[in-house]
């Protein structure tokens, strides 16, 4: 039985696979741009030129980049038998929702979506081993 754990955030994903007593780790880089506003006045004079910040354009681009990131992750784990998704913030929940929406066969294999802080590769491996021991 192939068991997979994915620790992910917007920067990268660690895919830990447990199969027949063997453990493998793959790292997937997301290529999602970090959005930072540079708004405010371009001059020290009152009424000077203003930088226009177009949030919607950046957010739309980020949404498409995340969709591509999730698509590449889903293609790497499509042959797993059990899946756990964990990580900081809400990226793990968004990935789970994307699997439910676009990858029904994978979403049925999800055994858990958990919050977890930033981890080293060894901590992530241990976390996945512990999760599937208790499962």
Residue 24: inside a domain, yes or no? yes
Q: Which residue has the higher pLDDT, 19 or 38?
A: 19
What tokens does 116 get? 């977890």
Provide the domain count of the chain.
Answer: 1
**pLDDT score of 4:** 98
Q: Which residue has the higher pLDDT, 33 or 26?
A: 26
**pLDDT score of 57:** 87
Edge-to-edge strand ranges of the sheet holding 3-8: 22-29, 12-19, 3-8, 82-87, 110-115
Mean pLDDT of all residues in the chain? 89
The residue range of the domain holding 86 is 3-35+54-134
Residue 45: inside a domain, yes or no? no
Residue 84 has pLDDT above 60, yes or no: yes
Residue 81: inside a domain, yes or no? yes
Residue 110 has pLDDT above 70, yes or no: yes
What tokens does 51 get? 């930088």
Residue 77: inside a domain, yes or no? yes
**pLDDT score of 34:** 80
**pLDDT score of 46:** 64
State the Cα–Cα distance between residues 58 and 105, nearest whole angstrom.
Answer: 31
State the Cα–Cα distance between residues 101 and 80, nearest whole angstrom.
Answer: 18
Residue 94: inside a domain, yes or no? yes
Interhelix angle 55-76/91-102, nearest 10 degrees = 70
State the Cα–Cα distance between residues 7 and 43, nearest whole angstrom.
Answer: 44
State the Cα–Cα distance between residues 54 and 101, nearest whole angstrom.
Answer: 28
Helices (H) and strands (E) in the chain, counts: 4, 7
CATH number of the domain within which 62 lies: 3.30.420.60
Chain segment 28-75, per-residue pLDDT in tens: 999 998 876 655 555 566 665 556 667 888 889 999 999 999 999 999
What tokens does 123 get? 């901590």
Query: pLDDT band at 79, cuts 50/70/90?
Result: very high
């Amino acid at each position: 039985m192939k068991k997979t754990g994915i620790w992910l955030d917007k920067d990268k994903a660690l895919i830990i696979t447990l199969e027949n007593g063997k453990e493998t780790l793959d790292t997937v880089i997301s290529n999602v741009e970090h959005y930072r506003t540079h708004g405010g006045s371009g001059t020290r004079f009152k009424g000077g030129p203003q930088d226009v910040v177009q949030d919607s354009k950046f957010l739309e681009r980020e949404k498409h980049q995340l969709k591509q990131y999730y698509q590449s992750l889903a293609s790497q784990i499509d042959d797993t038998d059990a899946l756990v998704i964990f990580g900081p913030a809400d990226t793990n929940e968004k990935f789970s929702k994307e699997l439910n929406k676009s990858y029904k066969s994978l979403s049925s294999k999800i055994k858990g979506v958990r919050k977890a802080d930033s981890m080293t590769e060894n901590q992530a491996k241990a976390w996945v081993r512990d999760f599937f021991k208790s499962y």
